[in-house]
Amino acid sequence: MSALPVLPLPVTIEEFDRLEWPEDTEYELFEGEVLEVSHPALSHRLIQERLRDLLNETSGTKTVHMELAWQITATPPQTKRSADVAVLSPDRLRDAIRRKVIDGPPDLVVEILSPSNSGSSLNRLEKLCLANGSIEFWTVDPETRTIRIRAAGSHVVHV
């Protein structure tokens, strides 16, 4: 495994996509900074699957996905992430298939708190997603068994 090259910040999506990554590690680009992403624990994966199943039952024509990659290129610094669970409208999914990329965050972004996903980084991500087109952002706390929901332009709701 070779070391990653040192890049000047902020890193662009174009630079990020050109890098050769070690096969056993995953990376994301968050506001121009390259972050190593750990593989989710079994409990994390089970929560993802349960949420995906519940959202599929209630989402109507929207499509629900796990670890769906999306990017923000319009505003620097650029971001390329994957949501733990994501919901897209059929129109956005068709557009993403045609363009081979999801431009902007999903309509609904669901992130699960974990050792690699701290509250402060999720707060930054929430603000970024809601400012760039997400309708809602959910933060799931497995310890307290609560979901913090913020809709664009509204107050936080805990369930």
Write the pLDDT tens digit of every residue in 52-82: 999 999 888 788 888 888 888 877 789 999 9
Q: Is residue 17 part of a domain?
A: no
Find, among 81, 108, 76, 112, the residue nearest to 92 by Cα: 108
Q: What is the pLDDT of residues 77-129, one digit of tens each?
A: 899 999 999 999 999 999 999 988 899 999 999 999 987 777 788 999 999 99
Q: Is residue 64 part of a domain?
A: yes
User: Considering its fold, how many domains does the chain have in total?
Assistant: 1
Q: Is residue 137 part of a domain?
A: yes
Residues in the chain: 159
3-state secondary structure of 126: helix
Q: What residue numbers bound the domain in which 138 lies?
A: 40-158
Q: Is residue 25 part of a domain?
A: no
pLDDT(19) > 50: yes
Measured CA to CA, the distance from residue 116 to residue 118 in angstroms comes to 6
In single-letter form, the type of residue at position 2 comes to: S
Q: Is residue 8 part of a domain?
A: no
Q: Is residue 2 part of a domain?
A: no
Q: Is residue 31 part of a domain?
A: no
The mean pLDDT value for 33-38 works out to 87
What's the sign of the alpha-carbon dihedral 7, 130, 72, 140? Answer: positive
Find, among 47, 28, 50, 51, the residue nearest to 38 by Cα: 28
Strands (E), the chain: 26-30, 33-37, 63-72, 79-88, 108-112, 136-141, 146-151, 156-158
Q: Residue 141: give its domain's CATH number.
A: 3.90.1570.10
Q: Is residue 28 part of a domain?
A: no
pLDDT(1) > 60: no
Model-level pTM? 0.86
Q: What is the mean pLDDT of the chain?
A: 88
User: CB-side exposure of 36: number of CA atoms within 13 Å?
Assistant: 9
Measured CA to CA, the distance from residue 140 to residue 122 in angstroms comes to 10
Find, among 110, 102, 106, 104, the residue nearest to 137 by Cα: 110
